[in-house]
Amino acid sequence: MTGLDQTRDKVAGLSAGASDFVTKPFDRAELLARVASALRTKDAVDQLEDVQGVLVALAAAIEAKDPLTKDHCARLAGHALDLARLAGVDAATVPSVGYGAFLHDIGKIGISEAILRKPGPLDDREWAEMRRHPAIGARIVEPLRAGTLIAPIVRGHHERWDGTGYPDGLASETIPIGARIVSIVDAYDAMTHDRPYRAGLAVSVAQAELLRVKGSQFDPHLVDLFLDHLAELADERIAMPMDLARGLRLVG
Catalytic residues, by residue number, are 108
Complete DSSP assignment for 164-216:
--SSS---GGGS-HHHHHHHHHHHHHHHHS-BTTBPPPPHHHHHHHHHHHBTT
* Residue 159 DSSP symbol: -
For residues 10 and 5, give the distance between their C-alpha atoms in angstroms, rounded to a whole number: 7
Give whole-number Cα distances, 120 to 66, 135, 197, in Å: 15, 24, 6
The vertex-244 CA angle with 243 and 246, nearest 5°, equals 65
Q: Name every residue whose Cβ is closer than 8 Å to that of residue 103 and which is 6 or more positions away in sequence.
A: 55, 56, 59, 73, 137, 140, 141, 150, 154
